[in-house]
Structure 1
Amino acid sequence: MISNALDPDLLRAYVSVCRHGSLSRAAEQAGRAQSALSMQMRRLEDLLGKRLLRRTGRGVIPTTEGELFLGYATRILSLGEEVVARLGEQSTSDPIRIGLAEEIAIIVLPEALGQLRRAWPDLHLDIVVDHSIAISDRWREGELDLAVATCLAFAGDAVRSWDVELLWIGGIDCEPDPAHPLDIIVYAEPCIWRRRMLEALTEIGRDHRLTLTSQSISAIRAGVESGLGVALMTAECVRPEKMRVLPTSAGVPPPLIVQYGLYAPDRPNVVTKAAIELLARSLQARWSNFP
């Protein structure tokens, strides 16, 4: 029956293949075997009695009938999501639980969350600020509706992701002496930044010693400003009047790259979806190289 061809799973698979222009890329994005996706496409064509995809040297493209069906498939899926959102719309009296790595909270809390509150005046926000591994643990236990933290701490795929540059930061008068160990300020374990920092120093053979350890960015900043040592920070955390970015000529490694991700449920309700977009826009404005 034709109605069987309107199975949302088949429609989503078809739309994904058309958008990626490749069965292999669509399968990889969905975390599925290409053979399983190919079987779905053949089943869809059999149900409709039409050829929907044509192979090219680069992948696949919709046929004339496939283009027509793609438009309808997209509309059907969009309408289905709207129905689910309206019927299952979360009451704004129920809190949205958002987990943010502290370095992310500094960036997004003043802007994105204020916009969200203005859009939903009765909204109750439950914000958890912690290190990425703790945020990941809470996410895995189902204690959060949204999370933004380092991708290395998460097992699943992020809704959006960004490559973030971590800079070597010293006090405004910091001039490391290459003849002496580099004084460093690190985050308390467990911390992905800390591990990356120590690995990078070891790779270039730079002797170092720990002068301050803390879980708090405020304490890390204070230590850097007081001249206690060098720390890793994002550009947004740097206070130019009291800190400076150290070049490699100062005996530190090049800036490190860490990937951050925005994690959300597969089918967020309308309020959570709004939070996703606001958080994503806020982060994109600062890290414009996101995929």
Structure 2
Amino acid sequence: MPTTLDLDTLRALLAIVELNSFSRAAERLGRSQSAISLQIARLESMVGHPLLERARGRVLGPTVKGAELVAHAREMIALNERAVTAMRRPASDAPIRLGMPADFLERDFASAVGEIRSRFPRAQLSVRTDLSARLAEDVDQGRLDLAFYKRAPSNAADAAIAFEPMAWFGKVPAPNRSDDAVPLVAFADGCAYRGEALRGLRLMGRDCSIACEARSLSALVGAVKAGLGYAALPVELGVRKSLQQASDLAGLPRLNAVELALGIAEGCNLPFARAIGGIIAERCALA
């Protein structure tokens, strides 16, 4: 049978040679020193030569054969990385149809796009912002390739990638008695924030009225600052927009956190889509 060199073992060899230490190499690779030592022992047995010069437990450097294998190892690992990157690129120049909530564009989306272009030069993004319910439906029906959307906590197959604690924001001029209808500032039906606000008020037995149905985040923020009503928003988003949290005297219910999920359409290039989604999640969703 042909002899096959294991890439993880070659990475361990490179780390030992670069750091002159088994313990530091193990720490870099997130493994135990005994596991690294066993890998190198098996590698030396496979190639039939000692690969490291050692004295009193210290690594002095590679042997002649060790240096020869290190050169091959660097080429093999680099080739492996190029192959993986090539396979994760889109199969064509067709744009990736990406859906997301509008507030993602006000986070660190610019740097996310920059990293995507750096890692996947051929990738083209076609971005659409919409309400979460529509985004979830469109990625399920294949009208989007991948989408970030918000929802009430669930056990759905598309696992949550983050949770956003919610709070009430706003201050209305008139006293808000417990039997008054709560004036709401919200996005259209299908927004997870609106859904959580209505759920909390319903459980509390409070009536509400839509004082302003906003079509954009800037419009919603303006309506809250104008005192038109209360808005249920993620805590970090409200603080970032310099909105005042509602007083306990307003008699508003406590809100559950909203779940953020990433959906990928069936038939989409899964590794590539997950790579794109991971970059955006790190820069925007988890920021």
Report the TM-score when normalising by structure 2: 0.60
Partner in structure 1 of residue 211 of structure 2: 211
User: 2:152 touches 2:196 (CA, 8 Å); kept in 1?
Assistant: no
| % identity of equivalent residues | 21
**2:87, 2:243 → 1: CA distance?**
52
**1:182, 1:132 → 2: CA distance?**
24
Correspondences of 1:32-43 after superposition (within 5 Å): none
User: 2:158 touches 2:262 (CA, 8 Å); kept in 1?
Assistant: yes
Confirm whether residue 227 of structure 1 aligns to residue 217 of structure 2: no
- When the two chains are superposed, the root-mean-square deviation of aligned CA atoms in Å is 3.8
Shift in alpha-carbon separation, 1:284–1:138, aligned structure 2, 3 A = closer
**1:263, 1:241 → 2: CA distance?**
28
1:33-85 Cα distance to aligned partner (Å, 9 max, x none): xxxxxxxxxxxxxxxxxxxxxxxxxxxxxxxxxxxxxxxxxxxxxxx9x9787
Partner in structure 1 of residue 277 of structure 2: 276
**2:181, 2:99 → 1: CA distance?**
37
Cα distance, 1:247 vs. partner? 4.3
**2:174, 2:114 → 1: CA distance?**
40
1:248-286 Cα distance to aligned partner (Å, 9 max, x none): 343111133121111235773554332122123225643
**1:192, 1:88 → 2: CA distance?**
32
Which range moved further: 197-206 or 85-94?
Answer: 85-94
SS at match of 1:110: helix
Partner in structure 2 of residue 103 of structure 1: 103
Shift in alpha-carbon separation, 1:110–1:247, aligned structure 2, 3 A = farther
Cα distance, 1:218 vs. partner? 2.1
**2:146, 2:127 → 1: CA distance?**
10
Cα distance, 1:217 vs. partner? 2.0
Partner in structure 2 of residue 177 of structure 1: 176
Cα distance, 1:135 vs. partner? 0.7
Shift in alpha-carbon separation, 1:121–1:255, aligned structure 2, 3 A = same
Give the number of the structure whose alpha-carbon radius of gyration is greater: 2
1:80-122 Cα distance to aligned partner (Å, 9 max, x none): 9x97874574257321111112234433523322321233344
SS at match of 1:246: coil
Confirm whether residue 262 of structure 1 aligns to residue 223 of structure 2: no
- Report runs of 4+ in structure 1 exceeding 6 Å deviation: 82-85
Partner in structure 2 of residue 119 of structure 1: 119
**2:174, 2:137 → 1: CA distance?**
39
User: 2:88 touches 2:272 (CA, 8 Å); kept in 1?
Assistant: no
Shift in alpha-carbon separation, 1:163–1:154, aligned structure 2, 3 A = closer
Cα distance, 1:221 vs. partner? 1.1
Cα distance, 1:227 vs. partner? 1.0
Shift in alpha-carbon separation, 1:225–1:113, aligned structure 2, 3 A = same
SS at match of 2:257: strand
User: 2:99 touches 2:128 (CA, 8 Å); kept in 1?
Assistant: yes
State the one-letter code of the partner of 1:177: N
SS at match of 2:218: helix
User: 2:116 touches 2:276 (CA, 8 Å); kept in 1?
Assistant: yes
SS at match of 1:111: helix
Cα distance, 1:156 vs. partner? 5.2
User: 2:141 touches 2:265 (CA, 8 Å); kept in 1?
Assistant: no
Cα distance, 1:212 vs. partner? 0.9
Partner in structure 2 of residue 21 of structure 1: none
**2:210, 2:239 → 1: CA distance?**
22
Partner in structure 2 of residue 161 of structure 1: 161
Shift in alpha-carbon separation, 1:114–1:92, aligned structure 2, 3 A = farther
User: 2:192 touches 2:258 (CA, 8 Å); kept in 1?
Assistant: no
State the one-letter code of the partner of 2:274: K
SS at match of 1:244: coil
Shift in alpha-carbon separation, 1:188–1:126, aligned structure 2, 3 A = same
Partner in structure 2 of residue 138 of structure 1: 138
State the one-letter code of the partner of 1:279: I
Cα distance, 1:193 vs. partner? 2.9
State the one-letter code of the partner of 1:190: G
User: 1:147 touches 1:264 (CA, 8 Å); kept in 2?
Assistant: yes
Which range moved further: 240-249 or 224-233?
Answer: 240-249
User: 2:89 touches 2:122 (CA, 8 Å); kept in 1?
Assistant: no
